[in-house]
Amino acid sequence: MIIILYILIAVFLFIASFWIQTLSAGKTQLSPRFFPQVILLCIIFLNIIWLYQIIKDPEADVVFKKISKEKKIRLTKTIIISLLFGILFNWLGAIPAILLCVLGFLWAWNIRKPLILILFPVGISLGIYLIFSKFLSVRLPMGIFKGLF
Amino acid sequence: MFDNFLMGLYSILQPINLFSVLVGVVSGITIGALPGLSATMGAAILLPFTFVMEPIPAIAMLSALYCGATYGGSISAILINTPGTPAAAVTTLDGYELAKKGKAGKALGASVIASGIGGLFSVLVLMLVAPQLAKIAITFAAPEYFALAIFGLSMVVNIKSGNELKNIIGGLTGLFLATVGMDRLTGFSRFAFGNVHLLSGINFIPVMIGLFAATEVFRLAETWDKSEIIETDFSDLLPKISEILPLKWSILRSAIIGTFIGILPAEGGTVAAFISYNEAKRWSKHPEKFGTGILEGVTAPETANNAATGGAMIPTLTLGIPGSSTTAVILGGLMIQGLRPGPLLFVQQPNFIWSIFVAMAIANIFFLFAGLFGVKIFAQVTRIPINILAPIIMVLCVIGSYALHNNIADVWIMLIAGLMGSLFRKIGFSPVPIVLGMVLGELIEVSLRQTMIIFDNNLSIFFTRPYSAVFLSLAILSVLWPFIRKSFKKR
- Residue B402 to residue A141, Cβ atoms within 8 A: yes
Cross-strand pairs, B190:
B181
Cross-strand pairs, B181:
B190
pLDDT category, A67, cuts 50, 70, 90? confident
Chain B residues close to A64, C-beta within 8 Å? 426
The pLDDT of B44-68, averaged and rounded, is: 89
Of B434, B413, B438, B417, give the one whose Cα is nearest residue B216.
Answer: B417
- Is the pLDDT at B448 greater than 70? The verdict is yes
Of B314, B286, B267, B257, give the one whose Cα is nearest residue B128.
Answer: B314
Over residues B322-332, the pLDDT tens digits come to 888 888 889 88
Chain B residues close to A78, C-beta within 8 Å? 217-218, 221, 390
Q: Å from A55 to nearest chain B CA?
A: 15
- Mean pLDDT comparison of A55-64, B161-170, B223-232, highest-scoring range: B161-170
- Residue B169 to residue A98, Cβ atoms within 8 A: no
> Residue B267: what are its φ and ψ, rounded to 5°?
-85, 160
**Phi-psi domain of B290 (left: phi exceeds 0; alpha: psi -120 through 50; beta: other):** beta
Interacting residues of B17 by C-beta distance below 8 A, sequence separation 6+:
B11, B56, B57, B60, B355, B359
- Residue A21 to residue B453, Cβ atoms within 8 A: no
- Residue A83 to residue B406, Cβ atoms within 8 A: no
Which pLDDT value is given to residue B254?
92
- Is the pLDDT at B194 greater than 90? The verdict is no
- Residue B51 to residue A138, Cβ atoms within 8 A: yes
Which of B148-162, B244-258, B447-461 is the least confident region?
B148-162
Which pLDDT value is given to residue A1?
76
Please state the ipTM of this predicted complex.
0.92
Q: Å from A109 to nearest chain B CA?
A: 6
- Is the pLDDT at B180 greater than 90? The verdict is yes
- Is the pLDDT at A51 greater than 80? The verdict is yes
Residues A26, A30, A35, CA angle at the centre, nearest 5°? 145
Of B343, B39, B98, B369, give the one whose Cα is nearest residue B233.
Answer: B98
Rounded to whole angstroms, how far apart are CA atoms B455 and B359?
42
Which pLDDT value is given to residue B161?
59
Q: Closest to A85 (Cβ–Cβ): which among B49, B175, B398? A: B398
Per-residue DSSP letters for B243-295? HHGGGHHHHHHHHHHHHHHHHSTT--HHHHHHHHHHHHHHH-S-GGGTTSS-T
Higher pLDDT, B108 or B378: B108
Instruction: Flag whether residue A28 sits within 8 Å of chain B, measured between CB atoms.
Output: yes
> Residue B189: what are its φ and ψ, rounded to 5°?
-80, 140
- Is the pLDDT at A68 greater than 90? The verdict is no
Which pLDDT value is given to residue B106?
86
pLDDT category, A147, cuts 50, 70, 90? low
The pLDDT of B30-44, averaged and rounded, is: 82
CB pairs under 8 A between A and B: 162
The pLDDT of B83-89, averaged and rounded, is: 79
Which pLDDT value is given to residue A64?
66
> Residue B190: what are its φ and ψ, rounded to 5°?
-130, 125
- Is the pLDDT at B162 greater than 70? The verdict is no
Q: Å from B264 to nearest chain A CA?
A: 24
- Residue A61 to residue B428, Cβ atoms within 8 A: yes
- Residue B449 to residue A29, Cβ atoms within 8 A: yes
Which pLDDT value is given to residue B169?
92
Over residues B410-435, the pLDDT tens digits come to 999 999 999 999 988 888 888 888 98
Cβ contact B20:B60 at 8 Å: yes
DSSP B13: T
Which pLDDT value is given to residue B151?
87
- Is the pLDDT at A128 greater than 60? The verdict is yes
- Residue A39 to residue B172, Cβ atoms within 8 A: yes
The residue type of B259 is T
Which residues in B18-41 are b (16+ Cβ under 10 Å) and which e?
bebbbbbbbbbbbbbbbbbbbbbb
Instruction: Flag whether residue A17 sits within 8 Å of chain B, measured between CB atoms.
Output: yes
Instruction: Flag whether residue A127 sits within 8 Å of chain B, measured between CB atoms.
Output: no
- Is the pLDDT at B171 greater than 60? The verdict is yes
Which pLDDT value is given to residue B65?
94
CB atoms within 10 A of CB A111: 17
Chain A residues close to B391, C-beta within 8 Å? 101-102, 105-106, 109, 120, 124
- Is the pLDDT at B205 greater than 60? The verdict is yes
Over residues B344-401, the pLDDT tens digits come to 888 888 899 999 999 999 999 998 888 888 877 877 777 778 888 889 889 988 998 8
Instruction: Flag whether residue A46 sits within 8 Å of chain B, measured between CB atoms.
Output: yes
Which of A65-74, A91-100, B20-29, B309-318 is the least confident region?
A65-74
pLDDT category, A107, cuts 50, 70, 90? very high
- Is the pLDDT at B230 greater than 60? The verdict is no
Longest dimension (CA), chain A: 70
The pLDDT of A63-68, averaged and rounded, is: 74
Please tell me whether the overall predicted TM-score, pTM, comes out greater than 0.95 for this model.
no
Rounded to whole angstroms, how far apart are CA atoms B153 and B203?
18
| Chain B residue with the nearest C-alpha to that of A97 | B395
Q: Closest to A78 (Cβ–Cβ): which among B175, B221, B423? A: B221
Which pLDDT value is given to residue B281?
85
- Is the pLDDT at B304 greater than 60? The verdict is yes
Cross-strand pairs, B189:
B182
CB atoms within 10 A of CB B193: 11
Over residues B254-303, the pLDDT tens digits come to 999 999 888 877 667 778 888 888 888 888 888 888 888 888 899 999 99
Instruction: Flag whether residue A136 sits within 8 Å of chain B, measured between CB atoms.
Output: yes
- Residue B173 to residue A43, Cβ atoms within 8 A: yes
Per-residue DSSP letters for B175-215? HHHHHSEE-TTT--EES-TT-HHHHT---HHHHHHIIIIIH
pLDDT category, B47, cuts 50, 70, 90? confident
Instruction: Flag whether residue A90 sits within 8 Å of chain B, measured between CB atoms.
Output: yes
- Residue B189 to residue A35, Cβ atoms within 8 A: no
- Is the pLDDT at A16 greater than 90? The verdict is yes
The pLDDT of B123-148, averaged and rounded, is: 89
| Chain B residue with the nearest C-alpha to that of A63 | B427
| Chain A residue with the nearest C-alpha to that of B398 | A86
| Chain B residue with the nearest C-alpha to that of A110 | B387
The pLDDT of A99-117, averaged and rounded, is: 91
- Residue B176 to residue A23, Cβ atoms within 8 A: no
Cβ contact B328:B322 at 8 Å: yes
